[in-house]
Amino acid sequence: MDVSHLIDSLNDAQREAVCASPGHYLVLAGAGSGKTRVLTHRIGWLNQVERVPTWAILAVTFTNKAAGEMRARLDNLIQGGTQGLTVGTFHGIAHRLLRRHWREAGLPESFQILDADDQQRMVKRIVAGLGLDEARFPPRQAAWQINSWKDEGKRPENIEAGQHPVTRTLVQIYQAYEDACRRAGLVDFAELLLRAHELWLKQPAVLEHYQQRWRYLLIDEFQDTNSLQYAWIRVLAGRTGQTFVVGDDDQAIYGWRGAKVENVQQFLRDFPGARTIKLEQNYRSTSTILKAANSVIERNGHRLGKQLWTAGEEGERIAVYAAYNEQDEARFVIERIREYVAEHGDAKDCAILYRSNAQSRNFEEQLIQHDIPYRVYGGLRFFDRAEIKDALSYLRLTANRHDDAAFERAVNTPPRGIGDRTLDVLRRRARGESLSMWEAALNELAMGTELAGRAKNAVKGFLAMIDEMARTFSPSPLRGEGWGEGSILPEALAPNSPSPNPLPGGERASNSEALSLAEQIEHAVTQTGLRDFYENDSRGNAESRVENLDELVNVASRFELTPDDIEAGLSELSAFLSHAALEAGEGQGESWDNCVQLMTLHSAKGLEFPLVFLVGLEEGLFPSQRSVEDEGRLEEERRLAYVGITRARKRLFITHAESRRMHGTEMLSRPSRFLGEVPPSLLDEVRPRVQVSRPLYAGRFAEPAPSLQEDLPVKLGQRVSHPSFGEGVVVSAEGSGAHTRLQINFENAGSKWLVAAYAKLTPL
């Protein structure tokens, strides 16, 4: 067979990786070195040359997008198709395993996935339910801690809290949260991985099956794996699996959410005979850009070590612009974009990359002013939108009445007179008797005394509505397992309830009268009053919300079960709900239009653009204030800078502002240290245009000095208080009069430069 298409276009290092003989490999793939190509061609090589059947190959990525791209490229590459090949995210694969082995994993058959938002609400209710002070145990942090523990593979009983009271309470929250999830049949993201891992450890037969099947493991973005994912791979590989991991320690930027770069080096120790292959030839950027990137990343210690190089052109120097303030910065960037668009054309070639989301605002304003189309990445995704989650929560309840997260959301959206007081009665009962909210409501209606007539009727109506909806969806009862079609209302409450008439033999209902998924959603959106509610929404965005609800129906009508779903025994509804949780969908408006791209440095990883604007390179912003004290975190910031620089193909612009409004106060900042780490010979300093910007600058400082100025004699060592930064000491001062800038060491907020005239300082 002719396999030249698999190797012809490769350089030596790439070919070495693609054609490697059996064994474990670590491919250190620098930015723009053809990582995905190596990964896909390796799979092609295994299949077509080594004759490895597709079903024996497992390729794991972190995002659905990456998985989708890989599959698309494989479809083009592999003759005979990619049938049987598993390509997916860690979470997606773990999810499928749990669906197929729900019993062994100790889950209800109809378990559903709890997304991050639902998880936080759930934790919040737990914290409140335990009678804890939410200020001392912020639900956000508690949820973060629980996820961290799960990522470390820890259950509440494995945590050594010792005498530390805060930790002990957090463990208590973890335990209670876990109980609540179990009762509700809910599994959060971290739980998917942890359960799948435990499934393997506890069920050797299941593990062996998958070890026998997936003998070839390929992992993308290996530097982003957390402890649990690493353990997962190790267990699955066992003694016989061959692993091919691809990553770049210099692009590890997710340490703060549990990723362990150390896994890259650990891999070489844990997998016997593992060999390293470095991909250092870059096909993306000019040599100027690469030199800059190399010299920045060289400052980091503990690297495996790589030097990017290119056979391509030197290119232009990197333009650096020292802006007066953030408006001036945005003006400069937009001007360059307009020039570029006027000369060459495409706005979509331009990317503005920033450290924090808040920075997009200025750029957006000016882009709007100049009628330049733009797209901001990383907004709310489709399935994360409140109206979508509202609609789906009704479907979740029809599938599983005990889904407390769905219950809490649906119960009073739209408002139906079931307020906090009423819910607290139900919550207390649920907690006290270890029941789901649904069961608690049933009990309260049957024998409770705490609810007044009006509230009681509202609850009764809600329960009846859900039951009624479930009956409409599938007129014949499915199976009587207790989890899905759990609780039928007492006869008296259920209007026209036909006596239960279960099908013999647990046959799956395929009643011709059953509603399609799209019809079910349409029904839910309409019958619950959700659409009416949003149509009359006073907050102005009614139109788009209703459009989104309609779009949800469309999405559902296009939804199809995959062979995998069917094999795992998923119903259409279950599969759709899982899909909604695992693939939150594109960010808003996936317009393929010719738009300027705005995004954070984090979301830029993996992308490339002819023109890149790296903005806000200032100490305190990038690197962020919170990272400068810790060497490890600072190195991660530096890797982020490396990622940013290497996004640029032709031209890189770096900007920083001398003055920037942050959290409502005017801040002065020095250029980022990362800027100083680029050899000056590669830089081209653009002078600010004095005529345009000066008056603005001068004008603002020419205004009468605020009175504070007078009664703040600038003395070094003076203790002062600032409304947002707290107390600190003046350690140095520059300039005079209205231009006076003070350096203040704040006790909690670190060192800042502030304009004396603007900072609201109180001498102490």
Partner DNA sequence: ACACTATGAGTTTTT
Partner DNA sequence: CTCATAGTGT
Site residues for DNA per CB under 7 A: 62-65, 89-92, 115-116, 134, 189-190, 253, 256-257, 355-358, 378, 412, 415, 417-422, 455, 538, 582-584, 599-600, 602-603, 624, 626-627, 633, 637, 661, 663-664, 724
Beta bridge partners of 279: 29
Could you give the C-alpha distances from 446 to 57, 489, 607, in angstroms and in order?
55, 10, 58
Which are the contacts of 94, defined by CB distance < 8 A and separation ≥ 6? 192, 193, 195, 196, 232
DSSP secondary-structure letter at 515? P
Q: How far is the CB of 314 from DNA (least distance, A)?
A: 32
Verify cis geometry, omega within 30 degrees of 0, for the bond prior to 414: yes
Q: How far is the CB of 10 from DNA (least distance, A)?
A: 28
Q: How far is the CB of 533 from DNA (least distance, A)?
A: 10
Burial state string for 458-480 with b = 16 or more CB within 10 A and e = fewer than 16: bbbebbebbbbbbbbbbeebbbe
Q: Give the integer Cα–Cα distance in Å for 57 and 51.
A: 11
Which are the contacts of 147, defined by CB distance < 8 A and separation ≥ 6? 188, 189, 190, 258
Q: β-strand 374-376 against 596-600: which pairing, if any?
A: parallel
User: Closer CB to DNA, residue 18 or residue 143?
Assistant: 143
Enter the tokens of residue 596.
């300027």
**Pair 229, 193: CB distance under 8 Å:** yes
Give the chain's radius of gyration (CA, Å): 29
- Torsion angle, alpha carbons of 180, 185, 186, 187, to 10: 110
User: Closer CB to DNA, residue 147 or residue 242?
Assistant: 147
Q: Give the length of the chain.
A: 764
Q: How far is the CB of 500 from DNA (least distance, A)?
A: 32
Q: Give the integer Cα–Cα distance in Å for 671 and 658.
A: 8
Provide the terminal-to-terminal Cα distance of the chain, rounded to the nearest Å: 83
Percent helix, percent strand, percent coil in the chain, to nearest 5: 50, 15, 35
Q: How far is the CB of 603 from DNA (least distance, A)?
A: 5
Q: How far is the CB of 247 from DNA (least distance, A)?
A: 16
**Pair 411, 462: CB distance under 8 Å:** yes
Beta bridge partners of 86: 58
Residues designated catalytic: 35-36, 220-221, 251, 647
Sign of torsion over alpha carbons 745, 750, 753, 758: negative
DSSP secondary-structure letter at 56? G
Q: Give the integer Cα–Cα distance in Å for 141 and 149.
A: 12
Q: How far is the CB of 99 from DNA (least distance, A)?
A: 14
Could you give the C-alpha distances from 34 to 38, 90, 246, 442, 603, in angstroms and in order?
6, 22, 11, 59, 19
Q: Which residues are annotated as a binding site?
A: 29-36
Which are the contacts of 718, defined by CB distance < 8 A and separation ≥ 6? 729, 730, 763
Number of H helices, E strands in the chain: 29, 22
Q: Give the integer Cα–Cα distance in Å for 58 and 61.
A: 10
Beta carbons within 10 angstroms of residue 709's beta carbon: 17
The H or E element containing residue 352 is strand 350-354
**Pair 622, 616: CB distance under 8 Å:** yes
Q: β-strand 741-746 against 726-734: which pairing, if any?
A: antiparallel
User: Closer CB to DNA, residue 356 or residue 588?
Assistant: 356
Q: How far is the CB of 22 from DNA (least distance, A)?
A: 30
Q: Give the integer Cα–Cα distance in Å for 100 and 9.
A: 40
Could you give the C-alpha distances from 762 to 149, 234, 720, 749, in angstroms and in order?
43, 58, 5, 16
Q: Which residues are annotated as a binding site for ATP?
A: 29-36
Q: How far is the CB of 474 from DNA (least distance, A)?
A: 28
**Pair 384, 117: CB distance under 8 Å:** yes
User: Closer CB to DNA, residue 341 or residue 581?
Assistant: 581
Q: In terms of C-beta density within 10 A (0-12 exposed, 13-18 middle, 19 or more buried), how is residue 711 classed? A: exposed
Q: Give the integer Cα–Cα distance in Å for 113 and 403.
A: 10
Q: How far is the CB of 741 from DNA (least distance, A)?
A: 20
User: Closer CB to DNA, residue 216 or residue 462?
Assistant: 462
Strands across the sheet containing 762-763:
659-662, 665-668, 750-755, 741-746, 726-734, 719-722, 762-763
φ, ψ of residue 321 in degrees (nearest 5): -120, 125
User: Closer CB to DNA, residue 164 or residue 626?
Assistant: 626
Q: How far is the CB of 119 from DNA (least distance, A)?
A: 8
Q: How far is the CB of 115 from DNA (least distance, A)?
A: 6
User: Closer CB to DNA, residue 64 or residue 487?
Assistant: 64
